[in-house]
Chain A
Amino acid sequence: MPQTPHTEKHFTAGDRVRDIVIGMSDGLTVPFALAAGLTGAVATTDIIVTAGLAEIAAGSIAMGLGGYLAARSDAEHYQSERQRERREVRDLPELEAAEVADVFKEYGLTEEEAAPVVAALVRRPEAWIWGSRSPTPGAPW
């Protein structure tokens, strides 16, 4: 058996491919359904072409702007969450430390196991802020 290093296969394709997938999955489905529906109702291709082009124009604008706005509001939400965490770490460190300990307990760690990790994070405020809440930035939905 060939010796290949184990690489984890996550979603590595990047934002561009994600955007293409979002646009094309609807772009293939909705105009197709519209054309099929009109085929069942009208007798000329002119109407179908006109309606189809109108739908593609409207759909691409709505999908494009919708995706853009969703991604932007996600990023803004992430930024504001991060600022809130930064404030909390500064003003209420005990509460935040307890919050982090709770997260580890949810993963099944005992109090004794979690304590050194929490203590280590308290010594590194920047890492603590990153880890204390983890919204998923970049996901457009």
Chain B
Amino acid sequence: MSALTIAFAYVVGGMIPLTPYIVLRAVHPAFAWSIAATVVALWVFGYGKGRFTGSGPARSALQTTLIGGLAAAAAYLIARIIS
């Protein structure tokens, strides 16, 4: 049960940044929408997590968004440097 819940949550989370690439044909508008959707989702998710765990929701929201943004920025920059 635990495994299914984790896997399902992963799929739901993963489809958020990917959906713009499925819907739109051009890479860069898709990228912009992907960033917007994921930043909002990370913020909401972090906020909810902070509420559930009892640590500050705003702090948790900021932390989650920064970590997600940092990971994506690192991936984008490394890809740009290499290619």
Contacts and interface: CB of A to CB of B under 8 A. Distances in A.
Interface of A: 9-11, 13, 15-17, 19-45, 48-49, 52-53, 55-56, 59-61, 63-65, 67-68, 71, 140
Interface residues of B, number: 51
Interface of B: 2-18, 21-22, 24-28, 30-31, 34-35, 38, 41-42, 45, 49, 52-54, 64, 67-68, 71-80, 82-83
Chain B at the A interface: SS class: helix
Contacts of A33: 68, 71-72, 74-75
Given A37-B75, A39-B76, A45-B26, A30 B14 contact: yes
B5 A45 contact: no
Given A17-B52, A30-B14, A41-B80, A25 B64 contact: yes
